[in-house]
């Protein structure tokens, strides 16, 4: 099996962030992306355990942003979140998700990159949500 290529995943993620920027102009597409990613996450809970809490915050902040409920986040952070979710739901990624035991490695890697990029925004959102 081919070794996981982190730099290729980062490059693909960058492309998905650009797509995320584009779909931010279309709230229904943002909502559709969140819905699909949420469904996939529920089906794939085990491999996502380590990032589950932050992933749920990503769903929440993106949903509240698109509804206009929470705008205290840079658009670039929302684009990174949507880009990561687009990568997560895409059937075209570095490691096909259907490969048992390893199919989500690249997805978790990309989601983790996005989480690191927007961590402070997620924490501020979490404080706002819990206030």
Interval 21-49 mean pLDDT: 93
Q: What local confidence, expressed as pLDDT, does residue 8 receive? A: 86
pLDDT above 70 (res 24): yes
Question: How far apart are the C-alpha atoms of 101 and 70, rounded to whole Å?
Answer: 37
pLDDT above 60 (res 129): yes
Q: What local confidence, expressed as pLDDT, does residue 93 receive? A: 73
Question: How far apart are the C-alpha atoms of 110 and 46, rounded to whole Å?
Answer: 17
Question: How far apart are the C-alpha atoms of 31 and 99, rounded to whole Å?
Answer: 28
> Running DSSP on this structure, what letter comes out for residue 113?
H
Q: 3-state DSSP call for residue 42?
A: helix
Q: What local confidence, expressed as pLDDT, does residue 96 receive? A: 64
CB atoms within 10 A of CB 106: 23
């Amino acid at each position: 099996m081919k070794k996981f290529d982190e730099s290729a995943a980062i490059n693909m993620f960058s492309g998905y962030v650009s797509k995320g920027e584009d779909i931010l102009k279309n709230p229904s597409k943002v909502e559709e992306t969140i819905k699909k990613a949420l469904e996939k996450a529920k089906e794939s809970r085990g491999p996502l355990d380590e990032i589950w809490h932050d992933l749920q915050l990503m769903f929440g902040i993106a949903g509240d942003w698109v509804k206009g409920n929470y705008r205290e986040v840079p658009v670039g952070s929302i684009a990174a979140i949507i880009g990561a979710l687009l990568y997560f739901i895409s059937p075209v990624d570095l490691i096909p998700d259907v490969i048992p035991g390893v199919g989500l490695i690249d997805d978790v890697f990309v989601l983790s990159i996005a989480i690191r990029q927007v961590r402070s925004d997620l924490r501020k959102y979490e404080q706002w949500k819990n206030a």
